[in-house]
Amino acid sequence: MKNKSKFHRNFVWVGFGCVIILVILLSGCPRIEPGKQEEPLARVEDMYFYPSDLPNIFYGNISAEDSAKITKTYIQKWIKNKLLLQKAELNIPTEKQREVLKKLEDTRASLMIYEYQQQMINQKLDTIISQSEINEFYNQHLNNFILDKNIIKTLFVQIPTNSPNIPNVRRWYRSNNSEDLTKLEGYCYQYATKYDYFNENWIPFSMLLNIIPVSVNNQKSYLKYNQYIETSDSLYLYFANIRNYRLKGSNAPVEYINDNIKSIILNNRKIKFLKEIENNIYYDALSRNRFEIY
């Protein structure tokens, strides 16, 4: 309740500070611009600054004095910008002003077109990509998907050095028998600090090397001659069964780049979709004689 009361008092003081600065700024200013339902805080020639023009700049429990300073600073910045703009308009040659206006119009057009395109994509673009589409794209562009690192499929176990039945762990983690793997999984739920199949996905070999204390100078050679890794430190025993591997420079497995291919297909689909919209609008306008080329 005390905190709530304190927050209420701070809120009141912030509001009171804003009122004070508004009164100060309103002194000697026109009261209201036609069509506006609020009184202006500042004016530069026929341009007005209203309370609704203030951004959300009051964060946390700030004092009335601070809120007044922030408001005053923001309004002074607005006034300076307007005065500077007027000075620029008087001194910049007309031709340069036309260039600026052209750039503004081009930017506005680009933003409007972009917003319309995104709206159409969200409403009508088919974003479902089947695995058969992914496989077909992969096979057609196989040479584009070359590994830049060594990757593996592995089972990894980390257990404290004082864990029981370690000989069983050594046997289970090497096995492909489903019953042995079930036993290993049950054991790891009880004793392991880490146990991971990595969802049977491909992972960079370097990821395994980051979590297991083993020194590897030549990854290619190591992978060729070491399917099973057993090592330890003062606290843990580490076991890894490298079930499969692919070397840097070879074709990436489709599962490893599945998401990348999805993104490529979806992007290509977007480009084609937007091109169709552009052409449809063009030929519809052409059929209605909405434009001419001279």
* pLDDT value of residue 38: 86
Which comes out higher in pLDDT, residue 106 or 25? 106
**108: pLDDT strictly greater than 80:** yes
Query: Cα separations (Å) of 167 from 173, 180, 182, 215, 258?
Result: 10, 13, 16, 24, 38
Query: The pTM is what?
Result: 0.70
* pLDDT value of residue 226: 95
User: In this predicted model, what pLDDT tens digit does every residue of 57-80 receive, in sequence order?
Assistant: 666 677 878 888 888 999 999 999
User: In this predicted model, what pLDDT tens digit does every residue of 266-286 receive, in sequence order?
Assistant: 999 999 999 999 999 999 999
**14: pLDDT strictly greater than 60:** no
Is domain 147-246 annotated with CATH 3.10.50? Answer: yes
What residues does 292 pair with on adjacent strands?
A: none
Please provide the average confidence, as pLDDT, over all residues in the chain. 88
User: In this predicted model, what pLDDT tens digit does every residue of 166-178 receive, in sequence order?
Assistant: 999 999 999 999 9
Q: Where are the beta strands (DSSP E) in 46-131?
A: 47-49
Q: Would you list the domain boundaries of the chain?
A: 2-91, 147-246
